[in-house]
Amino acid sequence: MRRLRAFGRRVEEIRPAFVLAPLLAAHLAVVVVVAAQARHNGWLYGTDAGGHDWTAAWALGHLWATDSGAWYGLAALLWPAALAFGGSLPAALPVVVVAQVLVGGTAILLATYGIGARIGGRLLGYAAALGWVLAPVLSLGFFYGGDRVFQGVPYSDFRGLVRDIVVPHALGLTSSAAFVSLVALTVAAWLLVRSLDTGDSNDVVLAALAAGFALGVDPANAVFVPGVLVALGLARRWRHALAFLGALLPAAAALALWKAAGSGELPALPGFGFDLETLRINSTHLRGGGWSLLVVLWIAVAGSYGLVRKAPAKGTLVAAWLAGFFVVLAGVPESGSVLAGTIFPSVQPGYAALVLLGAGSLLLVPGWGRPTRAAAAGEHWSRPSVAVAAAVLALGVYPLVLVGLASPVPPDRIVVKESPGRSVPVSAAFHLRAEGAALSWTAPAAAGTKLSYRIYRSPGPGCARAQEGSGECLLRMAGVGLVRGTTWTDLAPGFSYRVAALADYRVDRAGGDLLLISPPVRAG
C-alpha cells in the first residue's frame, strides 16, 4: 500500500500536459479504430444522424425557425456549414465530424480530467480521463454479441448496436444534439466544480452559459440543473445559485422565441412524464442486453459515495448529473427504450458523469477517499472577465438575436416526413426534370456517402401543412420507387413527383435516413 501511495505521489508530481497529451492521443486512436470498425457509409455513421437539427440549421441560415422538433442551439452552431454545403448533410459531415472529434472530444477529455482532479487530485483526474478513453472499448465488452434470450425476451446483437450506433454517437462521429449536449454539460460541470474551489462568480456565469447552450441544444438537458443548485446549496453559495439561474435566462428566452417563431405560439413549459415502470423495464432490458446491471448500479452507488465523501458539493453535482439522465430521463417513455436501442442518445449527455463515477469508485480504496480538508475559497464577485464577456456574446446574445430575427419557414422550403423529427431541406441541387416518360436528376454533393433515391408521387401537390401557422410541408406523397441511379422511367402523366436522397450507414443497403428532397415537378 505504501508503494502504491508513493507511486501515486510521483504521478501527481508530473506535469499534467505530459500525461494528458498521451491520453488525448490514445483517445483519438480509439476514435479512429471505432471509425474503422463501425459500419459506415462514407462519413455517415449510425441511424437518425441528426437530420432535423441539420434542417433547422439550414433554416436558421435563412433566418427561418422550424417547427420540426429541433431546437436553436445546434442550429446556431451549424448554420454556416449548412448554408455552405447547400443543405446536404453528407457533404458537410467531414467538416462537422472532424471538428466534433477534435474540439468536442478534446473538451470532454480535458473537462473530465479537470472535474476529477478538482475532486480527488490529479491521480483521480487521470483515472477519469483514462476512463473516458477506455469507455468505448469497455462498453463493447459490456454488451452481448449475437442473439440472447433473457426472461423470455430476445436480444439481438446489442454489441453490434453499440459498435455501429451508440459509440459513434458518443465519440462525435455523427452530427447529433446528444454529442454537443455532452460537450456543453461536461464543460459546464468543470466550470462549476472550478467555481466551488475558487469561489469566483465568473466561473459560475460561464458554467451557466454553457449549460444554457446545452438547454438550447435540447431542453431535456434541464435535468442537469437541479444537481447544480444542490451542489451550490451544499457549498452555501446562495448568491452563486441565483447567478447561475439568472445566466440561464437568455437561453430560456431564446427557447421561447424559437418556439414562438417556429409555430407562431408561445410554448408551454415542457414536462417530464417520469414513470417508474418505464425505468424498471429499461433496467430489465439493460440486464438482458448487457453483462451486468448490478455492476452499473454499483458504479453509480460506489462512485457517488466515493466522490461525495471526498468532496460533498462536487460529488453531489456529478451524482445528480448521472441521476438526471440515467434515472429521470431513462424513466420517461419519450426518451426511447433500451430494447429498441433508441434510449442511448437521450442518456448520452450523462456519459461523462458515469465515467467520473467509475473513476470515483477508486476512492473506496482505504485511505484515498478521505475528505479533503483544504478550505475552499469563499463566495465572491469578480469583475466580468474577457472570457465571460465573450461567452455572453457567443452563447447568450448571439443566439438570442439570431432567433429573434427568425421568422416561420415559408411554404415548401422544408418537408416533414411522418413525424417532426424527420424533416429535410428542399434543395434545388437535384435539378429534377420530367421529360417524356422519364424522370432524371443530378446527384447532390455527398462527400463519398453512397446515396439512394426515393421517388415520391401524388396526384396533387402532395403537401399538407405540418401545423397551423407553419409553412413546412407535411409530405402526402406515395413512395413509388427506390433507386441507386439518377433516373426513373415509369412516369404517370399529370402526377407530381419529388426525389429524396437517402443514405444508410450500412453501405450495402438502399434506403435509410431521409437527407434532402427536391421541389416537386409535374409529369406532362
Partner 1 sequence: MSVASADAHAGAARRALVDRLLAAAPLLTIVAWAAVVYATKAAGQQTPTLFSDELQWTQLSRAIAEEGTASIRGEPRFFESLYVYLIAPVWWLRDTATSYEAIKYLNVLVMTSAAFPAYLLARRLVSRPSALAVAAASIAIPAMFYSLYVMSEVLAYPWAVLSSWLIVEALGRRTRAWVVAAVAAALIAPLVREQLMLVPVSFATGAFLVWWTSPAGRAARGRSWTRGDTIGLALLGFGAFAVLSRWLLQSNTVWQLATDTSGRIGAHILAAAGALTIGLGILPLIAGLTGLVPRRGEPLSPHDRAFIALTVAFLVLFPLYAGFKGAYNERTFAIRINERNLFYLAPLLFLATAIALERRRLRLLPLLLATGLAAYLVVTTDIQLNYGFFDAPGFSIAVMANRDLRWPLETIETGLVVALVVSAGIVAAARFLGGAARLVVLSLVAVLLVGWNVTGAVTAAGGANAAGALYIQFLPDPPDWIDLATGGAEVTYLGQALTTGDALRTNLTEFWNSSIANVWSLDGTAPFPGRTVIPRLAKGDGTLSPSPDTPYLLADAGIQPVGEAVAGFGTLRLVPLDGPIRLRESLQGVDAETWMGEFGAYNRFAEGEGGVVVVTLSRTAFCPDPDVAPPPARVRVTVGPLRIGLVNGERQPVLADAPWASRSGTVPNCEQRNLTLPVRGAPWRAEIQLEGTFKPADFGFPDTRTLGAMVSFRYEPARSG
Could you list the residues that contact partner 1 (CB under 8 A)? Answer: 150-151, 291-292, 294-295, 298, 301-302, 305-306, 309, 361, 363-367, 369-371
> In angstroms, rounded to a whole number, what is the distance separating the alpha carbons of residues 131 and 129?
5
Contacts of 55 (CB under 8 A, 6+ apart): 66, 68, 70, 87, 414, 423, 424, 425
In the complex with partner 1, which residue's Cβ is closer, 106 or 284? 284
DSSP structure string for 399-464? HHHHHHH-EEPPTTSEEE-SSTT-EEEB-GGG--EEETTEEE-PPPP-TTPPPEEEEEEESS--EE
CB of 298 to partner 1, least distance (A): 5
DSSP assigned state of 255? H
CB of 281 to partner 1, least distance (A): 12
CB of 287 to partner 1, least distance (A): 8
On whether the CB atoms of residues 448 and 92 are closer than 8 A, the answer is no
In the complex with partner 1, which residue's Cβ is closer, 107 or 293? 293
Helix ranges restricted to H, 199-327: 201-217, 225-234, 238-247, 249-263, 276-289, 293-310, 312-323
Helix ranges restricted to H, 152-200: 158-161, 167-170, 177-198
In the complex with partner 1, which residue's Cβ is closer, 133 or 296? 296
Which of 334, 502, 341 is closest to 424 using CA atoms? Answer: 502
In the complex with partner 1, which residue's Cβ is closer, 17 or 294? 294
In the complex with partner 1, which residue's Cβ is closer, 298 or 398? 298
CB of 325 to partner 1, least distance (A): 22
In the complex with partner 1, which residue's Cβ is closer, 98 or 364? 364
In the complex with partner 1, which residue's Cβ is closer, 62 or 309? 309
Percent of the chain that is helix, strand, coil (3-state, to 5):
60, 15, 30
CB of 294 to partner 1, least distance (A): 4
Which of 287, 34, 338, 35 is closest to 144 using CA atoms? Answer: 287
CB of 35 to partner 1, least distance (A): 30
In the complex with partner 1, which residue's Cβ is closer, 365 or 393? 365
CB of 66 to partner 1, least distance (A): 44
On whether the CB atoms of residues 302 and 510 are closer than 8 A, the answer is no
Kindly list the distances between the CA atom of residue 492 and the CA atoms of 58, 138, 435, 464, in Å, as whole numbers in the listed order.
Answer: 33, 54, 12, 22
CB of 324 to partner 1, least distance (A): 22
In the complex with partner 1, which residue's Cβ is closer, 305 or 453? 305
In the complex with partner 1, which residue's Cβ is closer, 367 or 493? 367
Contacts of 216 (CB under 8 A, 6+ apart): 71, 72, 73, 76, 251, 254, 255, 258, 399
> In angstroms, rounded to a whole number, what is the distance separating the alpha carbons of residues 334 and 278?
10
CB of 291 to partner 1, least distance (A): 6
Cα R_g (the chain), whole angstroms: 24
Which of 279, 295, 258, 35 is closest to 143 using CA atoms? Answer: 295
CB of 7 to partner 1, least distance (A): 19
> In angstroms, rounded to a whole number, what is the distance separating the alpha carbons of residues 134 and 116?
16
Kindly list the distances between the CA atom of residue 70 and the CA atoms of 18, 65, 299, 342, 504, in Å, as whole numbers in the listed order.
Answer: 41, 9, 33, 17, 21
In the complex with partner 1, which residue's Cβ is closer, 133 or 362? 362
CB of 154 to partner 1, least distance (A): 15
